[in-house]
Amino acid sequence: MFQERCLVIPALKKHAVIPDQLVKKLQGTTLIARALATARSVCQAQDIYVLTDSQEISLICSRHQVNYRYNQGLRFTSLDIVAEMRELLQELAQTYTHCIIYRASCPLMTWVDIEAAYKSYRKAQVDSLITVKEVQQRIWNMQEDNLLQLFEERNNSLVVESRALIILRLSLLATWGQASKHISIMPYFLAEHGIEIQGYQDWWICERLLARRQVVFVVAGYPAIGMGHVFRALMLAHEITDHQITFVCTRESELAVENIARKDYPLVRQGQEALATTVLKLKPDLVVNDFLNTPEDYMQELIAAGSKCVNFEDDGPGAKLANLVINALYEDCPSTTQLRMGPSYFCLRDEFLEARRNSLRPEVRTLLITFGGTDQYDCSRRVLDIVEPICRAYGIAIRLVVGPGYAHLSAMTQHLQELANPLVHFTYATNVMSQMMEGCDLAICSAGRTVYELCHMRIPALVLAHHEREARHTFARPKHGFTFVGLMQQVSDQKIRNVFLAMLKQERRARFWQRQNALDFSKNKSRVIQLLLKLLARDSS
């Protein structure tokens, strides 16, 4: 009775491209030991065979309780690994139907990759599977000192073998190497896991990739809370280049899903299961929670699973369980090792670091109106109607900017057509907010992260909070160059008009401008990123 499959690892020391490559440690584990561990997740030890010319590798195989065939004089003279191992494969063909040939020099391969390839091979009912990769390359042939292109310019896509896996039906050994019509060979495309160590540079790349940890950003973004959490998480994710990044969006966060999907990060949306279940399926080393108040039971599940947690803007019961809480928008208590508060931790986007900060002009020429990524209650239109007659009378240009989640676009477009004011310039879903702020003298905005960006750009502003939580963002106060008018739903049109007229006066704007000019957020993002990476480093030590 034949057994289904075996796994063979060719491990010839004399063919190593780096001295003692197979017994050299990569991220703390030798290549051969790493390959054996992967193999044992695919097959039982008695179904694993190592072909080697090394006594040292033979000893390692013995200690891992796997089969080995030792031949000190063994040498491969071609790239056809099946032909080179024909003797061993013919022996195995007496016991097994299929054979997986797995190279130890491909250390990024996991048992999941091997099982997925084997499943595809069996489903396709082919004779063999070979891992390959596609390259876009111009191919030339050398003829003395002359180069001759082998393929037409329009056909430079090649498929080359990735020496990670070969799977074959052992009964076809008799015809292997003959005309291809006798054997059906399935190509199996690999991504970065198919990297083969062929030199020190490949070794370095694999070392770095194996050192990566799994960082999961859990975010929320929908009309009721806006898109600030999403924008901040994306900004931080862009800075973390040495680790794997995955985003998880809460169940109701369709807007967040749309925006993150455009950035090509791996993305998971919470289904019917609990949020902790969705997150823990990704086996995170670090979870960055940016969705307001975390529940205690959610945090308990993450901590119990061994994940480090960093929470942003978290005032919920779960905050006390986080390794680090960063509440840049609140200043109501002093910072501690576990809790970092205030504007020193506000992260400024790179576009603002290179932006031209505004000088103080004697009169207001340009007004900016912006109420975040969603503006659920259409504050933009209400404020525009209040101040537009004043701006028209004084010749003040208005830049009206709404975000990608703005649900009143059609009504606003129609309203602007009826208004017919050439001084009003409308922008929807810009990716260059710093450019919108350049050249502005005054702003009217909500109390989210926009106030920090306005402060950096030296733009005094009237601030209207969308809700009670925003009203607690105390940075938007006169000491930082802002007039906090109150909750939008509780403030009258007349009060907004009066405050706006007062802010047009040079004396007050100059005082506010000077206060903003003294502040600097340029190093904050680096400070926050270092705190996150420090947690990862501590976890891996």
User: Which of 242-246, 260-264, 357-361, 431-435 comes out lowest in average pLDDT?
Assistant: 260-264
Q: Each residue of 224-238: pLDDT tens digit?
A: 888 889 989 999 999
d(CA 280, CA 302): 7
Whether residues 231 and 189 fall in one domain: no
Backbone phi, then psi, for 503, in 5-degree steps? -75, -15
Q: Each residue of 41-94: pLDDT tens digit?
A: 999 999 999 999 999 999 999 999 999 999 999 999 888 899 999 999 999 999
The domain that holds 43 is classified in CATH as 3.90.550.10
Position 225 scores a pLDDT of 82
Please count the structural domains in the chain.
3
Kind plus residue range of the DSSP H or E element containing 327: strand 324-327
Average pLDDT of the chain to the nearest whole number: 92
In-domain check, residue 522: no
For residue 167, name the pLDDT band (cuts at 50, 70, 90). Answer: very high
Averaged pLDDT for residues 88-102:
96
For residue 191, name the pLDDT band (cuts at 50, 70, 90). Answer: confident
Position 402 scores a pLDDT of 96
Backbone phi, then psi, for 533, in 5-degree steps? -65, -30
Whether residues 395 and 341 fall in one domain: no
In-domain check, residue 73: yes
419: tokens are 């208004």
pLDDT at 481 over 70: yes
Whether residues 282 and 366 fall in one domain: no
Whether residues 191 and 263 fall in one domain: no
Position 150 scores a pLDDT of 74
Domain with 244 in it: 212-347+528-540
In-domain check, residue 113: yes
Whether residues 273 and 369 fall in one domain: no
DSSP 478: G
Averaged pLDDT for residues 186-214:
90
Position 333 scores a pLDDT of 81
In-domain check, residue 495: yes
Whether residues 84 and 167 fall in one domain: yes
Q: Each residue of 446-480: pLDDT tens digit?
A: 998 999 999 999 999 999 999 898 898 899 999 99
In-domain check, residue 183: yes
Task: Name the domain boundary from 175, 209, 243.
Answer: 209
d(CA 141, CA 155): 16
d(CA 531, CA 373): 27
**Residue 311 three-state SS:** strand
In-domain check, residue 96: yes
Whether residues 128 and 180 fall in one domain: yes
Whether residues 236 and 203 fall in one domain: no
The domain that holds 393 is classified in CATH as 3.40.50.2000
Contact 342, 432 (CB under 8 A): no
Whether residues 288 and 435 fall in one domain: no
Whether residues 376 and 490 fall in one domain: yes
Position 178 scores a pLDDT of 56
Task: Name the domain boundary from 209, 235, 270.
Answer: 209
Q: Each residue of 244-284: pLDDT tens digit?
A: 999 999 999 998 998 898 888 999 999 999 999 999 999 99
Whether residues 321 and 393 fall in one domain: no
In-domain check, residue 523: no
Q: Each residue of 111-147: pLDDT tens digit?
A: 999 999 999 999 999 999 999 988 877 778 888 888 8
Q: 431, 376, 430, 382: which is closest to 226 by C-alpha? A: 376
d(CA 477, CA 463): 9
Q: 159, 209, 167: which is closest to 189 by C-alpha? A: 159
CA torsion angle 163 168 172 173 (round to 10): 50
In-domain check, residue 118: yes
Whether residues 410 and 464 fall in one domain: yes
Measured in Å, how far apart are the chain's first and last C-alpha atoms?
49
Which neighbouring-strand residues pair with 11?
A: 52
